[in-house]
Structure 1
């Protein structure tokens, strides 16, 4: 890669990258299916689909093909999620400190998530990291959601950043696909919802095992 480029912007996924939300998502999916009177889904199937839009998740894990049922499931999920997430979501180690360091070094930090915007903003605020985030995009903000590149392209436009000045960090192959299709540098995190082997199948530029290693990537390969 071109060492004269400087990383200006970071695009972070939320679920499985910034915060451990696996239990909150699984519990809310199952509670939603319970209320709809539908058989509970396989937990490993839910885990592998974290990062995709809710509609697609319900189609895949519960075979909800009726549009009205999909809308009802999504509404119920959003209604239940805020309460369930109160005691089930936590930041991964060193996230807050790393975000502060990156922010203080002048990088623009953004979040691109398949999560609903309201829940996303509430969680960022509750966890005390909203102050470090310049832009937040949830599933309602683009027509074509991950793994499509639309959200990353929107962030490039809003921040006036070039693709090779932008690092996309996520825990799933959907994040890697989004970043690669937008021409960005990509970094997978192996502690989230997809395994290192799954991430390697997308050939990201980097794979890290701890969130704090982002600063090493930026400082070691580029000028921080």
Structure 2
């Protein structure tokens, strides 16, 4: 068997690996509506890749929400998400099979996410893919989250590889910005939050319509 084209695949989780947007919309919408905000579904769907403080200010259309209130909002959101939203989450088609094939070929697999580690660990376990994941780099591990390059840089450091040996896979321009600034190669998926045109403008080398197409890019 020939060597893989990439030694590490760094996967975004929300909107790339798992269909979490309905869950995020449910929890964020319920929390914000309790606080008197009207939530635009389209705004949530286009910006859910942001870290929660920025996301909630964006969803609410209120950049003036103070940090103490944001902390309260995050706690309330996390409770709703855990108790009501997680049952809505599913893997995208072909994810488990593709990860299995990549793993068997010796490719290292990382989750590179603006989400928090406990949520990623719980969801990958519940969805049956934790056994394929070699490491998780999340919001707790870096000073600056996506679209800053810190998460991708930490993936590179942990695996001891060159930046161009890492393929960053994501559905948003935040993923593309992160990977590009870290020097990684980029793969955008079309079934998430941002259009193929937006992903290409940010430097995506590959565009895929189905997760299973990733196998050919990495292994052939």
* TM class by smaller structure: over 0.9
Secondary structure of 1:109's aligned partner = strand
Deviation at 1:156, TM superposition (A): 0.5
Q: Could you list the structure 1 runs, at least 4 aligned residues long, displaced by more than 3 angstroms after superposition.
A: none
TM-score, reference length from structure 2: 0.94
Aligned residue pairs, count: 216
In structure 2, the partner of 1:121 is 121
What's the counterpart of residue 13 of structure 1? 12
Where does the alignment leave 5 or more consecutive residues of structure 1 unmatched?
A: none
Structure-2 residue corresponding to 1:57: 55
Please give the alpha-carbon distance, in whole angstroms, between the structure 2 residues aligned to 1:84 and 1:157: 36
Secondary structure in 2 matching 1:140: helix
Aligned to 1:149: 149
Find the counterpart in structure 1 of residue 39 from structure 2: 41
Displacement of 1:87? 2.1
Shift of 1:193: 1.5
Kindly state the Cα deviation for residue 180 of structure 1 after the two structures are TM-superposed: 0.3
Partner SS state of residue 79, structure 2: helix
CA-CA distance at 1:5 after TM superposition: 8.4
The residue that corresponds to 2:218 in the other structure is: 218
Question: What secondary structure sits across from 1:114 in the alignment?
Answer: coil
Alpha-carbon deviation of 1:200? 2.1
Structure 1 residues 1-224: aligned runs within 5 Å = 6-35=5-34, 37-62=35-60, 63=62, 64-220=64-220
**CA RMSD, aligned part only?**
1.4
